[in-house]
Amino acid sequence: MRWLRASRGGARAVLKHLTWIVLLPAGWAGAPLAAGTASGTMAITATVLPGCTVDAGAMAFGTLTGESARGAPSAQAALTLNCTPGTAYSVALDDGLNGDRRMADPTGQVYLDYEIYLDPGATRRWGSGGEAAAAGIAPASGAVVLNAYGRITATQLVPSSYSDVVTVVVAF
């Protein structure tokens, strides 16, 4: 207590400063002032709708010459769906811009017939509905990859470049 006597004003000055520290409002010390509490509830809701997007890869038969043009040249393309998990889907393919699944040359006068199948054995035509469509239920990841198998069905090949566009429709 020797330091109290040595200071100016003695113990009285020290007590005066301690009083100011003790009398600081609670808000200045970092604690909020509260007169009471109240509580309520907050509703939290969400609606998850079924949905799918599709990304269709190109089906390229490549360059056909000599021996590769004989028989039934084939190609494959992947269709990738991204669906809400548990969503039932059906994927249909139309007959293409040239109709009847045929590619056209640049003049639009010469055609090259082809077909698209659900299986690599080319036994199930992939069409626009019913048994001809690919169907299933999206897994927990929502990702579905379907393979489309194409075959050129033309028996006479005329040299040219050919193309077509098939519309992929996903119903869910």
| Distant-in-sequence, close-in-space partners of 153: CB < 8 Å, separation ≥ 6 | 72, 113, 114, 115
Q: What is the mean pLDDT of residues 151-169?
A: 92
Question: pTM of the predicted model, to two decimals?
Answer: 0.74
On the CB side of 78, CA atoms within 13 Å amount to 6
The CATH classification number of 52-171 equals: 2.60.40.1090
| Distant-in-sequence, close-in-space partners of 49: CB < 8 Å, separation ≥ 6 | 84
DSSP character for 103? Answer: E
Q: Which amino acid is at 73?
A: P
Model confidence at 9, in pLDDT bands (50, 70, 90)?
low
pLDDT at 25: 52
